Amino acid sequence: DTGVSQNPRHKITKRGQNVTFRCDPISEHNRLYWYRQTLGQGPEFLTYFQNEAQLEKSRLLSDRFSAERPKGSFSTLEIQRTEQGDSAMYLCASSRGGTYNEQFFGPGTRLTVL
Amino acid sequence: QKEVEQNSGPLSVPEGAIASLNCTYSDRGSQSFFWYRQYSGKSPELIMSIYSNGDKEDGRFTAQLNKASQYVSLLIRDSQPSDSATYLCADLSGGSYIPTFGRGTSLIVHP
């Protein structure tokens, strides 16, 4: 399977705990995006990388959220001191970049904060 | 801040009919638009992209772009119950490569 993969697929945690998600993009894609989606809403942009450089970060993103892409391949998204409002689907997408920038999504990680 | 507006629906059509989904966008300079299909509990799946004014056809799907009126539409011909899903419209504009998604339109195709 050469698509985008994400792990874990589901995560249940208690409020105040830290969680980390992983995304493996399509191998030849140099851009990687993180989104958050809640019920009835479209994906909300969080941050993106071109290779290992983090180029954009949403102003809505709390400082409890951090993302890395250390070697320009896989990426991790960490949420510290989780809150119930962090419960959502966390989506990763990758693209080749360029003018049109078609993005392909992974299956997502469903986070539930109790 | 860019905005993409979609009617949340649901849009209900009978099997075999044409489903018409619409979206409007706020950034007059926007150039690239995408339609994604999302089944309940699943991630978005890219189905169409359109960059130029006019129509683009792919199988049963036709995307339409009208930059003067700032709207994008998706037509699904011969709708099938398996087309029942939420359809997301996305705008990619400028050099920042940050898509803005609409909240999606729920489509129900009934037998």
pLDDT value at position B60?
97
- Answer whether A56 sits within 8 Å of B88, measured CB to CB: no
Question: A86: helix, coil or strand?
Answer: helix
User: Within its chain, how far is the Cα of B57 from the centroid?
Assistant: 13
pLDDT at A101 over 80: no
Establish if A106 touches chain B: CB-CB under 8 angstroms. Answer: yes
Please report residues of A whose CB lies closer than 8 A to that of B49: 100, 102
Interface contact A48, partner B, CB < 8 A: yes
pLDDT digits (tens, 9 = 90+) for A49-86: 999 999 888 887 889 999 999 988 999 999 999 999 99
* Residue from B58, B74, B63 nearest B107 by CA: B74
**DSSP code, position B2:** -
Q: Do B98 and A56 touch (CB under 8 A)?
A: yes
State the pLDDT at residue B47: 96
Tens digits of residue pLDDT in B33-42: 999 999 999 9
What percent of chain A clears pLDDT 90, i.e. is strictly above it?
Answer: 77
A5 touches chain B (CB under 8 A): no
Q: What is the pLDDT of residue B96?
A: 59
Contacts of B111 (CB under 8 A, 6+ apart): B14, B15, B81
